[in-house]
Structure 1
Amino acid sequence: MNLRGLVSVTGKPGLYKLIGQNKGGFVLETLDAAKLKSVVNLSTTKMATLEDITIYGEEEEIRLLDVFETIKTNSTELPDPKADGTTLRNFFREVAPGHDEDRVYSSDIKKVITWYNIIKELPLFDEEAPAPLV
């Protein structure tokens, strides 16, 4: 799974594709049909790549990519992100066993489901990630 160029921006809904950099910050493009472009200044905005995001675990953190891979390989049916907390929690117990139920909130689970729905059709989702530089 190669999701290196996809980012989440604090305070903005959805996901973005990192398409460049200029003096003002990073140039991002929305992943929705509108394909809107915007510049994000990192001194005022936080941004995280999907490859770097982890979920609180009881023993160790769980990589978001591992959760996405579990959903993909198990063909797990996704609940509606607006489902009740019990439904969301039961789903997350299947795809992220060992997550810390006290620190992972329903809003976090909703975000994971929403993000998966955004990226599941992207060709990047089926590509292998490049090998890390040594």
Structure 2
Amino acid sequence: MSLDKILSIAGKPGLYKLIAQTRTGFIAESLLDSKRLSVSINHNVSLLSEISVYSLTEEVPLRDVLLKIKEKEKGNPTSISHKDSKDTLEEYFFNIMADYDEDRVYASDIKKIIQWYNMLQKNKMLDFEKKSNEEEE
């Protein structure tokens, strides 16, 4: 599945899969419990494909960061929890992305990325690398 169809909705836990667009917004399905909800245009919604992580030299697309985590974990869930200490989270993320900008990437951002990775892994949605290569061709 492409990250173009995966959403993060402010104020709502977890991630959502875009199901359909409506006149006033769209229908999304939770990856946590598969419940569907109607989301209006007024909600603060982010597509995962549009999110980047600051590094010291450039902004790295979230897709690339998730692929690095997948490679490190060999496709399994992360070896740490998003509830671990700030130091543990930062040390783990440093192993994934050694040049991330520590001044602009907060522990809360790392928590979200780890939580999102585990949610996508659980739902078998980490195969977006193949589809993005096909889209480029």
Deviation at residue 51 of structure 1 after TM alignment: 1.3
Structure with the greater relative contact order (CA < 8 A, sep ≥ 6): 1 or 2?
1
The total of aligned residue pairs comes to 131
Deviation at residue 80 of structure 1 after TM alignment: 1.3
Alignment of 1:1-134 (within 5 A): 2-32=2-32, 34-42=33-41, 44-75=42-73, 77-127=78-128, 128-130=130-132, 131-132=135-136
Kindly indicate whether the alpha-carbon contact (under 8 Å) linking 1:3 and 1:129 is maintained by their aligned counterparts in 2.
no
Kindly indicate whether the alpha-carbon contact (under 8 Å) linking 1:78 and 1:113 is maintained by their aligned counterparts in 2.
no
CA distance in structure 1 between the aligned counterparts of 2:66 and 2:104, rounded to whole angstroms: 19
Aligned-residue identity in percent: 37
Deviation at residue 98 of structure 1 after TM alignment: 1.3
Change (3 A) 1:29 1:78: same
5+ residue gaps, structure 2: none
CA distance in structure 1 between the aligned counterparts of 2:111 and 2:124, rounded to whole angstroms: 23
- Tell which deviates more after alignment, 51-60 or 118-127: 118-127
Deviations 1:14-70 (A, max 9, x none): 1000000112211101001x211111112x212121111101221111111111101
CA distance in structure 2 between the aligned counterparts of 1:75 and 1:49, rounded to whole angstroms: 24
TM-score normalised by length of structure 1: 0.88
Partner-residue secondary structure (3-state), 2:65: helix
Q: Hey, which bits of structure 1, 4+ residues long, moved more than 6 A?
A: none
5+ residue gaps, structure 1: none
TM-score normalised by length of structure 2: 0.86
